[in-house]
Amino acid sequence: MARFAIIGGHGKVALRLARLLAERGDSVDAVIRNPAHTADVEATGASAVVADVETLEVDGLAALLDGHDAVVWSAGAGGGDPARTIAVDRDAAIRTMAAAERAGVARFVMVSYFGSPDRSVPESNPFRTYAEAKADADEHLAASNLDWTILGPSSLTDDPGTGRIDTHAESSGRVPRDDVAAVAAAVLADPGTIRRTIRFNTGETPIAQAIA
């Protein structure tokens, strides 16, 4: 049985991932900022850990991650407030990477998006802050000593998962959140995905085969 920490544990992908991991017998600590979300998290079979990664420094984050086999970053500011986007999607993510190294948790899975890293978004575009924050975080992770995997799903839907993806697409399409969670669960079990960025749409290839 492995022990995983999911940062951003109340997110739609994170809740699905927690359930998948718990169902296969793993231990899951889902880190959430709002204690009102505890019941939602625990309904998946995970344990809720209330902590604000936006304000925790590296030492506090390292204590949070200590004893885990891997960390999954699935948190985000949700857009809207540029300052908070930078604080969460870039700064807190990078502090969590440093904390994982300090705590001896080598395995780090980043849930990003298909286009990252993208430095081409015009300053006039509201998406620019998010794109820059994710690019900074993803590039920092890829340059780290961690055993990282970066997931780049395309536009997310709430359609039922198919268990099949396309990792060869050259442009972003759509993919169910169910399948994003299934991909995250699969890469955690497959050391062959370490130090790889995996971009994907929904497709025809079974997930385990597609990521191999």
Q: What pTM does this model have? A: 0.97
Give SS3 for 36. Answer: helix
- Spatial distance between the Cα atoms of 130 and 110, rounded to a whole number of angstroms: 15
Nearest partner of 113 among 208, 13, 186, 4, judged by Cα: 13
Number of domains the chain contains: 1
CATH number at residue 155: 3.40.50.720
Percent of the chain whose pLDDT exceeds 70: 100
86's CB contacts (< 8 A; 6+ apart) are 129, 133
- pLDDT tens for residues 36-94? 999 999 999 999 999 999 999 999 999 999 999 999 999 998 877 999 999 999 999 99
- Spatial distance between the Cα atoms of 109 and 39, rounded to a whole number of angstroms: 25
- pLDDT tens for residues 134-169? 999 999 999 999 999 999 999 999 999 999 999 999
Domain hosting 185: range is 3-211
Catalytic residue among 130, 150, 151, 188: 130
Q: Output the pLDDT for position 79.
A: 74
Residue 70 is encoded by which pair of tokens? 């891997």
Residue 113 annotated to the active site:
no
Secondary structure letter of residue 160 according to DSSP = P
- Spatial distance between the Cα atoms of 9 and 30, rounded to a whole number of angstroms: 4
> Cα separations (Å) of 144 from 96, 98, 192, 195?
12, 9, 18, 10
Residues 185/17, Cβ–Cβ less than 8 Å: yes
b/e sequence 8-33, b meaning 16+ C-beta within 10 Å: bbbbebbbbbbbbbbeeebbbbbbbb
- pLDDT tens for residues 116-141? 999 999 999 999 999 999 999 999 99
Using a 10 angstrom Cβ sphere, with 0-12 exposed, 13-18 middle and 19 or more buried, the burial of residue 177 is: buried
Secondary structure letter of residue 46 according to DSSP = P
